[in-house]
Amino acid sequence: MGDSTVTPLEGREQAVPQPVTTGGAPAPLPAPAPSSGRRRLGRLRSPRRPRLWFEILLIAVSYWTYSLIRNAVPEQRAEALRNADWIWQAEQRLGAAFEESVNHAVNSVTWLIVGMNYYYATLHFVVTLGVLVWLYRSHPGRYAATRLVLFATTAVALVGYYFYPLAPPRLMSGGAFVDTVMVHQTWGSMASGDLKHMSNQYAAMPSMHIGWSLWCGLTIFALARLPWARILGLLYPVVTLVVIVATANHFWLDAVGGVLCLAFGFTVAGLWYGTLPYSLPRVVPEREPGGPLLPTKA
């Protein structure tokens, strides 16, 4: 009779202790940890410090693959010449078929056209590689995203080469345009002289001379600090446009195709990184082994 009994709470929910803040209100529950797949994707989409050996290997393999695919595309000479005639007639209907006049005018100045031949053959690669090296050294946080723009631009250009073979103006029927490399016997194009068998001559649309030079120019203009360097960045694709027209290697509509490919490249990089490459921090924060990110200057 004097014994006390304890009745268990059956069929009732037991109270779960809630963490209480200093104000007496329950603290919010911690957010669930992201899955490993989500964490891995987040790391891939975050800027990281580039590794030299990997970048050299990637660029070498990528250019080798680009050249292999571009030159493996069937030349389709008849279709390429038909497409060239169509573009030339379309430009005439637009009142903007100025390539022949520029080609003949510049060809009459020997030192100028010879210089343009060498410009066409060399700067396309030298300046592009130079900008990549500069990005790697001075803007490592923006390097991968800006490199992605270049790679995506080049990749979509291969689609154009495959589905739209196009002869350059210098190979059009009728012989109205001057093949400046052949006339002046300069080493100025992989598609002329003894080197023409090493390259697909009917892959003129889009123009990667314009796609790559505009990539270089915009990158220099956006990231360079010296005013004269920024001006040179803007002039580079403009001069390149004059060169590809004067040497009769491209129509100006090929340049439009190169611009569209570059726009695609920027779109891909923007969707992947969530912003334009030039808006990313200049330097990637370093991480201690097993530790948090260390702050760094932008």
The predicted-structure confidence for 57-91, as pLDDT tens digits, reads as follows 888 888 888 777 777 766 688 899 999 999 999 99
Query: How far is residue 127's CA from residue 107's CA, in Å, rounded to a whole number?
Result: 25
% of the chain beyond a pLDDT of 90: 57
Residue 47 is predicted with a pLDDT of 65
Q: Check pLDDT > 70 for residue 53.
A: yes
Q: Say if residue 1's pLDDT is above 50.
A: no
Confidence of residue 201 (pLDDT cuts 50, 70, 90): confident
Q: Residue 216: how many CA atoms within 13 Å on its side-chain side? A: 27
Q: Cβ of 270: how many Cβ atoms within 10 Å?
A: 16
Going by C-beta distance under 8 Å and a sequence separation of 6 or more, which residues neighbour residue 230? Answer: 220, 221, 224
* pLDDT for the residue numbered 43: 59
15 or 147, higher pLDDT: 147
pLDDT at 293: 43
DSSP character string of the chain: ----------SSPPPPP--B-TTSSBPPPPPPPPPHHHHHHHHHTS-----HHHHHHHHHHHHHHHHHHHHHS---HHHHHHHHHHHHHHHHHHT---HHHHHHHHHTSHHHHHHHHHHHHHHHHHHHHHHHHHHHHH-HHHHHHHHHHHHHHHHHHHHHHHH--B--GGGSTT--S--HHHHHT----TTSGGGGGGS-TTB-SS-HHHHHHHHHHHHHHHH--SHHHHHHHHHHHHHHHHHHHHTTS--HHHHHHHHHHHHHHHHHHHHHHSS-GGGS-SSPPPB-TTSPBPP---
| pLDDT score of 297 | 46
> According to the model, what pLDDT value does residue 298 have?
47
* pLDDT at 99 > cutoff 90: yes
Across the chain, mean pLDDT equals 82
Residue 6: predicted pLDDT? 46
Which pLDDT score, from 0 to 100, does residue 120 have? 94
Answer for the pair 220, 228: CB distance below 8 angstroms, yes or no. Answer: no
- Are 190 and 196 in contact by the 8 Å Cβ rule? The answer is yes
This prediction's pTM: 0.78
